[in-house]
Structure 1
Amino acid sequence: MSQPTVGILHPGSMGAAVAACAATNAAAVLWCETGRSTASAARAAGFGLSPVATMAELVDRSDIVISLCPPAAAEDLARDVAGHRFAGVYVEANAINPVRTQRIAALLEPTAMVVDGGVVGSPPVGGKTPTLYLSGPADATARIEALFAGTAVRAAALGVEVGKASALKLSYAAFQKTSRVLVALAVGMAREHGVDQELIEVASRRTDSYLAEPEYVAKTAARAWRWGPELEEAADTLAAAGLPPEMLRAAASTLARWRDVKDDGELTLTDALDHLAHP
């Protein structure tokens, strides 16, 4: 089979890096520059992605379209692609709940084949190797596995049921991201009473405790604009399963206090805690 042309929707830090890995086994990787920021353009150029002027051109030329965007935009993007009668493989790889993923599949089928995707791990740069979990039609998931063969993205199929990959992604995010929020609250509480260093010392005796990594609080704050919506999606998934969603909604509310430090790579632990206490 000839190499496919791939379209990436919204090449953010994760999307652009994943798309660059796809380029290993693709004829070309396209992105639509209309309405995107100069930062997005610079990022796409840095990863060697090819710009096109319109979404219609991207959809028309692509055999595979990968959607990696903020959760709120997922359905609007899918609706836009469906409006152009896309007839290839659509990878819905956003951090959204299984019900939304199934709605997106209904929008695009039967014209397109929809694969549910969930990325677990950091963007594939600097030696990092995330896993792209997949669920959906076997032929379509096999094409995506072949697309990422031999790259820093490990593709793993979970079965044919759309929604499984989304559920796994959100289940992991619910634990991992909420745990980081709890670290920030614990360190903030301890700092208020002058025992933050003692808290960290206690935690450092346990090698498996996130409390032993307080420096990650600043990274959590810079990523809060993305993590909060993911936890809201995870809370919706809990509610749909009859499980209590309140803990995750509270974590999302806490993350919202950091909305003004989006992607701030210079943020320190002290800065992050100050913003948390006085948003």
Structure 2
Amino acid sequence: MDQPTVGILHPGSMGAAVAACAATNAAAVLWCETGRSVSSVERATQFGLTPVATMAELLDRSDIVISLCPPAAAEDLARDVAGHRFAGVYVEANAISPERALRIAALLEPDVTVVDGGVVGSPPVGGKTPTLYLCGPAAASGRIEELFAGTAVRTKVLGTEIGKASALKLSYASFQKASRVLVALAVGMAREHGVDQELIDVASRRTESYLAEPQYVAKTAARAWRWGPELEEAADALAAAGLPPEMLRAAASTLARWHNDKDNTELTLTDALDRLAHP
């Protein structure tokens, strides 16, 4: 089979690294540079992606398009794609609810073949090996498996039902990300009473407790702008299943207190806890 041309929408930290892996088995990996930030340009250049001037050109040249963007933008992005004459495979790989994934599939089908995807793990750099879970038409899922064969992105097909990959991603993210928020609250409360080190000592005697890693709170604060919308999506998924969404909505509200710390790599644990208590 000829190597496909792949388009990535848009090369953020995860998208650019995933696209670079796809380049192993692709003829080219394209991205649209119009309107993107300086950091996006730097990432795309770092990972050897090929710039094009317009979305129309990207879609005209691509056999496969992978959407990896902030959750809130996923549907509008799919709507933009639907306005062009793309007729290839569209991998909806964002952290969105199964219901949103189904709406996106309805926007694009039947002209476009939609594969629902969910990335679990860190970006595939520095030895990290995330898994891209897939569901959708078998032949299309198979093409995505081939695209990432032999790369740092593992793939696993969950079946043909759109929404399963999104559900798995959000199920995992609900625990993983909400747990980090709980660490911030627990350590913050303990610090208020002067027992934060004792709390960490208690947690350290347990296995694999996030409470034993309070330094991660600062990273949580820096990523709050992305994690909050993801937890809102997960809350929507819980509500749709008849389960209480309040905890995740509350966690998203907590993350909103760090809104001004977007990608702040200089933030310390003390800074993050101070801003949590006094936004």
Q: How far apart, CA to CA, are the structure 2 residues paired with 1:159 and 1:183? A: 35
**Which runs of structure 2 are paired with 1:1-150 in the superposition (5 Å)?**
1-150=1-150
**CA displacement, residues 109-140 of structure 1 (integer Å, 9 cap, x when unaligned):** 11110000000000001100000000000000
Shift, 1:57, TM fit = 0.1
TM-score (norm 2): 0.99
Q: Separation in 2 of the partners of 1:257 and 1:16? A: 28
**C-alpha distance in 2 between matches for 1:212 and 1:39:** 33
Which residue in 2 is equivalent to 1:254? 254
Q: Counterpart of 2:133 in 1: which secondary structure?
A: strand
Partner letter of residue 38 of structure 1?
V
Q: Which residue of 2 aligns with 1:206?
A: 206
Paired amino acid for 1:233? E
The aligned counterpart of 1:272 is 272
Q: How do residues 152-163 of structure 1 correspond to structure 2 at under 5 angstroms? A: 152-163=152-163
Q: Which runs of 5+ in 1 are unaligned?
A: none
Aligned-pair identity in percent equals: 86
Counterpart of 2:227 in structure 1 is 227
Task: Look up the SS of the partner of 1:155 in the other structure.
Answer: strand
Deviations 1:158-182 (A, max 9, x none): 0000000000000000000000000
State the AA in 1 paired with 2:108: L
Measured in 2, the distance between the counterparts of 1:28 and 1:275 equals 44
Corresponding residue SS for 1:129: coil
Aligned partner of 2:238: which letter?
Answer: L
CA distance in 1, matches of 2:100, 2:85: 20
Q: Deviations over 1:167-217 (max 9, x none)?
A: 000000000000000000000001111110111011100122110111111
Amino acid at match of 1:14: M
SS of residue in 1 equivalent to 2:119: strand
The separation in 1 between residues aligned to 2:176 and 2:215, in whole angstroms, is 16
SS of residue matched to 1:116: strand
The separation in 2 between residues aligned to 1:51 and 1:21, in whole angstroms, is 17
Q: CA offsets per residue over residues 88-124 of structure 1, 9 Å max, x none?
A: 0000000110111011111111111000000000000
SS in 1 for 2:155: strand
SS of the residue 2:95 aligns to: coil
User: C-alpha distance in 2, partners of 1:252/1:180?
Assistant: 12
Which amino acid counterpart does residue 262 of structure 1 have in structure 2? K
Task: Name the aligned partner's letter for residue 90 of structure 1.
Answer: Y
Structure 1 letter corresponding to 2:181 = V
The letter of the residue matching 1:119 is V
- State the distance in 2 between where 1:247 and 1:85 align: 42
Deviation at 1:37, TM superposition (A): 0.6
Residue in 2 aligned with 1:236? 236
Report the Cα distance in structure 1 between the residues aligned to 2:208 and 2:153, rounded to whole angstroms.
26
Structure 1 distance, partners of 2:275, 2:63, is 45
2:192 paired with 1:192: yes
- Render the CA deviation track for 1:212-271: whole Å, top value 9, x for unaligned: 111111111111111100100000000000000000000000000011111111111111
* Deviates most, 200-209 or 135-144: 200-209
Gaps of 5+ in 2: none
Q: Take 1:50 and 1:275, find their aligned partners in 2: how far apart are those partners?
A: 40
Provide the C-alpha distance between the structure 1 equivalents of 2:94 and 2:47, rounded to a whole number of angstroms: 20
Q: Which amino acid aligns with 1:204?
A: S
Query: CA RMSD, aligned part only?
Result: 0.6
